Structure 1
Amino acid sequence: MKQILTVLAVLFIFPAAGQNPDKLSKEISEEGIALYQSEMTSWNGTDIFIEHYKNRDNIGGYFSYLDEGTPKCIFFSKSQKVIGTICFPANYNPKDAKLDLVERDFTPKETEYFTIRQNALKRMQNDSIFKIYKDTNLNIIPLIRNKIKKVYVLTAASTGNTVIFGNDYLITFDNKDQVKHVEKLHNSMIVQKINDETIGHTVSGMHSHVIENWQTITPTDICTLMLYQKFTGWENYTTISKKFVSIWNSDNNLVIMKTEDFKGMTENILKNKKPKPEPEKKEK
């Protein structure tokens, strides 16, 4: 299976480079990368802030965003004041981050992120669609792109050696920043081990999608794969549904094709790999 996915990735990625990329693939990739940028900023920003800020009881929450290309992680107090600003270079290297612990008000842009984050949190606390499982946390990721406001909710493992897909949600808002719609992106939670007791270190993974509106790989899948790439070393990851097969590889390239086309190509590859029969030998 690994060989099949590698061959298909080569076949589909390079022809697409010479043409206009598929709209769906492009949109999902960009959204997933934007989520990754936000969550990576939060991961590193949290470590830095907690190390230097000692009044833990005053912390009300955090969020991250791009400020004219600069990744920023913002921590705010329970009285809704910014109490920590961590700015990162483009490579997100914590060693090059700049920390500012001066208390201040939100900027207008930060107010937008804060508002949808808090409105999402209120919905999460009062809507039974949201589930929390043992040894996991729900991460809130506000995202504003192309003037569209969303909040993604991801499930993160609080234990090592696991990568979690699923139990994720998308919250959208109206023009008054009120929750308009809440939906699940996966039907369940999928836990994949990085090192499996029976097969050792895994090199790839796969799961299926059954929700009708999310038949392709999701932006949250891409975000998770990018966040954990340095731990997993996975060469590729595949999602399968009745309509689409999506392949994300370690070079951050996404291939999406119809499931029927994937099956046809797989059959052809396997057929071509079969050894040719030796010519019949005649008795002398």
Structure 2
Amino acid sequence: MKQITAVLFIILSFMISAQENKYSDKEFQQKLDSIKTEGNLLYSHESASWNSGDLMAANQKLREIAQSYLTYKSNDTIKTIFLNKDESLVVAEYSFKDNQKKPVKENFQPRKPNTTELNLNKIRSEVISQLSDPKYEVGVPEGYSLNIIVLPFNENYKVYLIPGTSQSGVIPFGNDFLFIADKDGKIISNKKFHSRLIPAFTQGENGITVTMTTHSHLNTNPFISATDICTFKLYAPLTKLEAFSVYSGALGTYMQYNYKKDSIEKVKRP
């Protein structure tokens, strides 16, 4: 038994070592840049949702009629729309460009949802109806929520679940998911980026301000994730943090992202 265990350990070590050496420096950076691009796309959607939600909440008339919302990209614009109770009408539309907090256009003239909006709403509803299946391990710890982002992806759709919280002084890393759904909303593949919620607290003991946060990734998800970047960009401006890092045991390195520079790189140690 000891011999078998030793052999398995050697094989596992070899596999991890092989993975560490799989990428050249150029390929590694290209991978990081691709992840950053996806993270920024997620952030543009969530930022628009956040800002639109604040604007809608400040409008008493809208609060009374607006129910669900959708955020999507249209050419160079990110739009957030609010639907009425039976989802038959769009009652508010906010348009954003370049991650601006202030919309470049607002429209409160009720209209019917267009084809894009109807499709996205269908996909979202169909995916949500499947998330109660225990095999997906989707849960929401107390004090947190899950926000959904639907992105067209070739002939299918990417559906991200990203954690949120109204608690101050915490960045809710972890408990994030990616589902690939077909054109009818049926889940055809899924991925869980972290094993659990990993809240990063920005105030240490005795009120000490935290200036760097690091968490580690499982071997099955060796790279920093687009969801990590999106979450950090949303919450870091509310803190003193400018950067965070991820340690990958599979790759044997740290990856660090700085939201003010919008830069991501491999580092020896943060």
TM-score, normalised to structure 2, is 0.80
Instruction: Supply the AA of the counterpart residue of 1:103.
Output: P
Q: Which residue of 1 aligns with 2:217?
A: 209
Q: Which residue of 2 aligns with 1:31?
A: 38
Name the SS of the counterpart of 1:139 in structure 2: strand
* Residue pairs, 1:121-136, within 5 angstroms: 121-127=128-134, 129-136=137-144
Deviation per CA, 1:72-107: give whole Å up to 9, x if none.
11111232222211112424232x543222222222
Q: Quick one: distance in 1 between partners of 2:182 and 2:266?
A: 30
Q: Which residue of 2 aligns with 1:247?
A: 256
User: Structure 1 residue aligned with 2:243, among 236, 242, 264?
Assistant: 236
* Residue pairs, 1:95-244, within 5 angstroms: 96-127=103-134, 129-145=137-153, 148-198=156-206, 200-210=208-218, 212=220, 214-244=221-251
Q: Which residue of 2 aligns with 1:47?
A: 54
Name the SS of the counterpart of 1:39 in structure 2: helix
Q: Quick one: distance in 1 between partners of 2:91 and 2:186?
A: 26
Q: Quick one: distance in 2 between partners of 1:34 and 1:185?
A: 17
Query: Which aligned runs of 4 or more in structure 1 are off by greater than 6 angstroms?
Result: none
Q: Quick one: distance in 2 between partners of 1:120 and 1:88?
A: 26
Of structures 1 and 2, the larger Rg is shown by 1
| Contact 2:47-2:99 at 8 Å conserved across structures | no
Residue 234 of structure 1: CA displacement?
Answer: 2.0
Q: Which runs of 5+ in 1 are unaligned?
A: 1-15, 267-284
Q: Which residue of 2 aligns with 1:270?
A: none
Instruction: Supply the AA of the counterpart residue of 1:88.
Output: F
| Contact 2:146-2:163 at 8 Å conserved across structures | yes
Q: Quick one: distance in 1 between partners of 2:203 and 2:238?
A: 10
Distance 1:151 1:175, change over 3 A: same
| Contact 1:117-1:142 at 8 Å conserved across structures | yes
Residue 219 of structure 1: CA displacement?
Answer: 0.6
Residue 222 of structure 1: CA displacement?
Answer: 0.3
Deviation per CA, 1:198-254: give whole Å up to 9, x if none.
461111110011151x11111110001111231223232111122233211231111
Instruction: Supply the AA of the counterpart residue of 1:237.
Output: F
Q: Quick one: distance in 2 between partners of 1:186 and 1:20?
A: 24
Q: Which runs of 5+ in 2 are unaligned?
A: 1-24
Name the SS of the counterpart of 1:171 in structure 2: strand
| Contact 2:123-2:184 at 8 Å conserved across structures | no
Name the SS of the counterpart of 1:131 in structure 2: coil
Question: Does 1:90 find its partner at 2:101?
Answer: no
Residue 23 of structure 1: CA displacement?
Answer: 3.1
Aligned residues: 240
Distance 1:232 1:190, change over 3 A: same
What percentage of residue pairs aligned between the two structures are identical? 26
Instruction: Supply the AA of the counterpart residue of 1:189.
Output: L
Instruction: Supply the AA of the counterpart residue of 1:186.
Output: H
| Contact 1:216-1:256 at 8 Å conserved across structures | no
Instruction: Supply the AA of the counterpart residue of 2:249.
Output: K
| Contact 1:25-1:255 at 8 Å conserved across structures | yes
CA RMSD of aligned residues (A): 2.4
Q: Quick one: distance in 1 between partners of 2:72 and 2:201?
A: 30
Q: Quick one: distance in 2 between partners of 1:53 and 1:207?
A: 41
Distance 1:56 1:236, change over 3 A: closer
TM-score, normalised to structure 1, is 0.76
Q: Quick one: distance in 1 between partners of 2:264 and 2:112?
A: 40
